[in-house]
Amino acid sequence: MGLSRHYEGYLPIEDHGMIGDGRGCALVGRDATVSFMCVPRFDSPPLFCALLDRHRGGCFVLAPERLRQCHQHYVQDTGVLVTDLQADTGTVRVTDAFVLEPGAHLEEDIPAGTGQLVRHARVVHGTIDLRVLIEPRGGAEVRADAGGWQLACPRQQLTLRLRSSRSLPGLGSTLRLREGEDAWWALQWGAGDDNRPHRSVVNAITETIKAWQRWSAYVVDDVPQPELVRRSAITLKLLDHVENGAIIAAPTSSLPERVGGSRNWDYRYAWIRDAAYAVFALRRIGLPMEAGGFLSWALAAAQEDAQPRVMYSVDGRSPPTEVIDDELEGYRRSAPVRWGNAASEQPQHDVYGEILDCAFQWAATGGSLDGRLWDRLTAVAEAARTAWKTPDHGIWEVRTQGRPFTYSAALCQVALDRAARLARRLHLPGNPGTWADEARLLTGRILHDAWDERSKAFTEHLGSGGGLDASLLALPLRRVVPADHPRMVATTRAITSRLSAGGGLLYRYLPEDSPDGLDQPEGAFVLCSFWLVDNLVGQGRVDEASELFDTLCSHASPLGLFAEQIDPDNHLHLGNFPQGLSHVGLIASAVELARAQRGVRPELATHTWFR
């Protein structure tokens, strides 16, 4: 493959791979530059973020002189990334990994220890002059020690140790390697000290590969596009905080939803609604531990917070206050760059349903609800009884005055429905009869008040007016309205027609019809298109769903990754990358299609619990 395109000096977002160890992670470009890296935690200040400013962001470069072609691939079924770089004089292969501790098993909790990024370069043929540059954002105080350097990084309040198999005069120099020769660099942080020799570093990569492949063997393969499903599962595992099961939305901040626009947000946190969607998907592809871990984290976070939030940091606390970083120009000059997320303070009434749905799935898989947790859950259900009547900022976290969003009302119905079912099935105290009655009444209100006779569709909020909203494709997924209900079929038809971005892609809404406070266009939202696949399956249109699913999969990056959005004009990826919910959508749609193709009745169509 030829040398990747650059735009204003930046690689396309999709020309990156992700590596990590379940605590921190990095993005590595197809030119072998580490251009974004946060350690020791996903939400730590970035050590490198050239992806947000190629001049001031900092990076870790391994670059042959006169580069001509480059290609990336993952070692099969792993989170270990390989980049082949062809120059005029030869070819060098770079293998990158956050290596795991000896004996680590991804299917179990990974013990805390020294975090380590290992970069191994081997010349495949010819002779390579390899430029090596390690430049943390904000600079580092460098001190040589035995076998390497100590890097004190004041901006990150982090001290790292760099070891190398080759003696270099500093952190920016050129190394000549001939065919068959290799070099490695190990960047370490955290507790402990590692003086293992070269062979041990190579072995660490090999052991990490084995650990990933051992874990990946648990992922089912009797689904459409099994390789992409497995890659999606690995991506979610890379986003999974091993200490408590929280799965972050994405490993990056401020990658724009439209180049040159200001739709730039920090997604390095965990959303409660993501748990409800992700758990459903993870359980069905053979990953109950990851599903249970995220459920446990979500319920623990909600239990400790007097007023449930839509998102938390990985340790279950409120994300930091949103701030604008004026020092960075942004990806392709798309300012501002933001750290923290102000949406954590917004009222978003769907959170009530997300929490109760998590509890319902938790109980359905054998989890227990103790008295203290159930007291918290009943309080959430009681809050949902009235919350749907008041405006909020909705699933899309609009930055305008609140509105009575249909999706929010629907998830309040979910809260009441799940609370009633839990109380009855587990013989728990509460008001199951009242909750069930109000859930049914709220379903009726949605069917009536959200319906717009002129557009022949449900619209974004209750009452007159309001634009089309692709989030309503999720109503069957949440068991609010079945996919084959006539009004849901009509809504699916309207969304497909009027929110189409071409190529099977959908806009989540049109800002001119549904003001969100930014007055800017954006890309097509990947998750919504997978929701459309699920609706088509639920309506018995399996062939159409299968064709759409394959079309969507063709939009994946060369490594099988998805951002949050895709530019319908040029199919470049937009938004934070890789986006967990895009991969959750792919997995869930693959499972629904597999069931339908085996002749199993769609889960999203009419069921007895709707009657």
pLDDT of residue 608: 36
Are 502 and 569 in the same domain? yes
Are 210 and 238 in the same domain? no
- Domain of 58 in residue numbering reads as 16-194+206-216
Asked if 158 and 117 count as a contact pair (C-beta separation under 8 A), the reply is no
The answer to whether residue 343 sits within a structural domain is yes
Are 479 and 506 in the same domain? yes
| CATH number, domain with residue 565 | 1.50.10.10
Q: Give the type of residue at 467.
A: G
pLDDT of residue 598: 92
The answer to whether residue 404 sits within a structural domain is no
Are 553 and 516 in the same domain? yes
The answer to whether residue 566 sits within a structural domain is yes
What letter would DSSP give residue 162?
A: E
Rounded Cα distance between 47 and 164, Å, is 19
Are 244 and 338 in the same domain? yes
pLDDT of residue 1: 54
pLDDT (tens digit per residue) in 3-50: 667 888 999 999 999 999 999 999 999 999 999 999 999 999 999 999
- Taking the chain (611 residues) in runs of 10, the rounded mean pLDDT of each run is 76 98 97 98 97 98 95 98 97 97 78 86 97 96 87 96 86 93 94 55 93 96 97 97 94 97 96 92 93 92 85 92 97 97 94 95 89 94 96 94 94 98 96 97 97 95 89 97 98 97 95 88 97 98 98 98 97 98 98 94 53 27
What 3 state SS string does 67-107 have?
EEEEEEEECCCCCCEEEEEEECCEEEEEEEEECCCCCCCCC
Are 496 and 581 in the same domain? yes
Are 111 and 23 in the same domain? yes
Rounded Cα distance between 356 and 373, Å, is 11
pLDDT of residue 494: 97
The answer to whether residue 20 sits within a structural domain is yes
Which residue, chain included where needed, has tokens 């009536």?
Answer: 448
pLDDT of residue 609: 32
What letter would DSSP give residue 473?
A: G
The answer to whether residue 401 sits within a structural domain is no
Q: Which helix (H) or strand (E) holds 161?
A: strand 158-164
E-assigned strands of 165-298? 172-178, 182-189, 270-271
Rounded Cα distance between 536 and 489, Å, is 9
| CATH number, domain with residue 38 | 2.70.98.50
Q: Give the type of residue at 299.
A: L
256 to 145, 303, 366, 514, 577: CA distances (angstroms): 41, 33, 41, 20, 10
Are 149 and 241 in the same domain? no
The answer to whether residue 550 sits within a structural domain is yes
Are 26 and 104 in the same domain? yes
pLDDT (tens digit per residue) in 500-540: 999 999 999 999 999 898 888 999 999 999 999 999 999 99
Rounded Cα distance between 581 and 489, Å, is 24
Q: Integer distance in angstroms from the first to the last C-alpha of the chain?
A: 56
Asked if 158 and 47 count as a contact pair (C-beta separation under 8 A), the reply is yes
Rounded Cα distance between 394 and 196, Å, is 52
b/e map of 197-210 (b: 16 or more CB within 10 Å)?
eeeebbebbebbbe
Rounded Cα distance between 183 and 55, Å, is 26
Task: Please tell me the total count of domains within the chain.
Answer: 2
The answer to whether residue 541 sits within a structural domain is yes
Are 111 and 174 in the same domain? yes
pTM of the model: 0.95
Are 131 and 257 in the same domain? no
> In the listed set 153, 184, 216, which residue is the last one of a domain according to the structure?
216
The answer to whether residue 384 sits within a structural domain is no
Determine how many CB atoms are found less than 10 A away from the CB of residue 496. 19
Q: Is 583 helix (H, G, I), strand (E, B) or coil?
A: helix
Tokens of 10: 């930046």
